[in-house]
Amino acid sequence: MELLSFGDTGWGDELFFATLMTIAVSISAMVIGFAFALIFTPLKLSKNKKLNVIGNCYTTIIRGVPELLVIYLLFFGGTGAVMYVASIFGYDGYIEINAFITGALAIGVISGAYSTEVFRGAILSIDKGQFEASKVLGIKKYIQFYKIILPQMLRLSIPNLSNVWQITLKDTSLISVTGLVEIMRQSYIAAGSTRDPLFFYSVAAVLYLMLTFLSMKLINKLEIKYSKGY
């Protein structure tokens, strides 16, 4: 227990901040994922064949390759790409992209693919009459989407989004390979310097279990709250 005390002698405060970092990365990744999903869901549902192919390519490729590969690609490739763009503008120095940004972006791209599938399913399960009724009433397409379809879609997708959240939360552990100090990386450091990997990885496991447990409780509450009227 002494190992977990706060302050200079223990790892308590380090692990606490690492947990906050994990939460921060997960939430940012989830939000980035939503942005991707809102772009690609209409593409997947569109009647235009070409747009359809783009949407399908995104979800199929991202869900078909390992998460680690996406992270490595963005982490190693991202730096090169940014430096290439910078060299066009006449800057030749070394640029290192923040590990948090690449990490959140990589996990966000992955979580976006899952969210896209969830949103697509939710929109498909909305009654067709809703679309027809708003068309008959002469409501413009984007107002129809924002005011009628989106709220229903979000409510319907809460249960499945909770799965996506769990996947996203667990995927953030993979960012540790790029050096961002979240739970996994911090336990790795602590395990290395105290030579007690069993203890620290168990602590990491308990922290992740706590996060999943608490977030499940929270999401269940949300689900109950938003299904009150139905």
Residues that bind another protein (CB under 8 A): 60-61, 63-69, 72-73, 76-77, 80, 166, 170-174, 176-177, 184, 187-188, 191, 196-198, 201-202, 204-205, 208-209, 212-213
Give me the least distance between CB of 54 and another protein, in Å please.
16
CB atoms within 10 A of CB 173: 19
In the bound state with another protein, the residue whose beta carbon lies nearer, of 45 and 177, is 177
Nearest to 104 by CA among 75, 146, 82, 131: 75
Contact indicator for 106, 74 with CB cutoff of 8 Å: yes
Residue 157 Cβ vs another protein, minimum distance, rounded to whole Å: 19
Is residue 110 within 8 A of residue 171, CB to CB? The reply is yes
Between 16 and 188, CB nearer to another protein: 188
Separation of CA 62 from chain center: 13
Q: State the Cα angle at 86 between 80 and 89, rounded to 5°.
A: 150
Residue 170 CB, shortest distance to another protein, in Å, is 4
Judged by beta carbon, residue 36 or residue 153, the one nearer another protein is: 36
Residue nearer to another protein on the CB measure, 209 or 224: 209
